[in-house]
Amino acid sequence: MTLVIPFTQVDAFADAPFTGNPAAVMQLDTWLPDAVLQAIAAENNLAETAFTVALPEGAGADYALRWFTPTIEVALCGHATMASGHVLIGAREQVLFRTRQAGDLLVTRAGDGLALRLPEWGARPKALPDFPTPLGGEVQETLWHDGGYAVFVYPDEAAIRALEPDFGALRGIGNVLLIATAPGQATDVVSRVFLPGGGVDEDPVTGAAHCVIAAYWAQRLGRPDFTACQASARGGYLNCRLDAGRRDGEGQDGRSVTLTGRCRTVIRGDYLL
């Protein structure tokens, strides 16, 4: 018997064709074995595949959500959550996703785009002796967020765009998200993001990375709102805001980060298993 899974490919944080970060959104009736989910993500061969399962009425959220790169399951993926909201929000004003490691994540309408609220995972200054300038260039500061998020602060946008990482060497670091960031020119902040140990050499636009750097840049810029560009080959733009207060669905006080951007559906179809 063939299992038919609705499939939508979405460019998240995309203002034009062939920009933003592609994600597959796959709507399941119930969870498949993890090995099957991983194999589907590997076959899709996108930075992330998002799998959703509708939750029963009264569950407190609309969908359960998980994300896989071609090689691993990840704890948080912003762009694939935004893509999932784009596919599933329908006529509603918002859709709430329940995740296993990042709490409940809210997507709401915001003009002609969407706003995504994520937990604030602030990085703190820390020497990173195990990462001897793995991306190249002149690093001014290094920061770390537990769970595998390393931040390298550079002097300017030109330094970010000039980076030529040795991906072969970086794969040996393992599942660590490497974030290179600097003051921008057309935007307040510019970044590039790499995850070779997780099967993604360079991620086009990374919501999770902006959860990690939002507090740093808000403090440095002296305001909670800033514009951001991820200077990958595809490129993408985000508006970022650091918020204080309660995070939806988590029942605890804490800061969150709201990312705003646009999405574009590029493929619709069925995945046959």
Query: Is the CB of residue 190 less than 8 Å from the CB of residue 184?
Result: yes
Hey, how many other C-beta atoms are within 10 angstroms of the C-beta on 109? 14
Query: Is the CB of residue 217 less than 8 Å from the CB of residue 190?
Result: no
Buried/exposed 138-171: b ≥16 CB within 10 Å, e otherwise: ebeebbbbeebbbbbbbeebebbeebebeeeebe
Three-class SS state of 75: coil
Is there a catalytic annotation at residue 48?
yes
Of 43, 48, 57, 73, the catalytic one is 48
DSSP 72: -
For CA atoms 271, 73, 264, 163, give the dihedral sign.
negative
Amino acid at the residue 9: Q
Q: Which residue has the tokens 């300017």?
A: 156
Going by their DSSP bridges, the two strands 141-145 and 124-125 should be labelled as: antiparallel
DSSP 211: H
Residues tagged active-site: 48
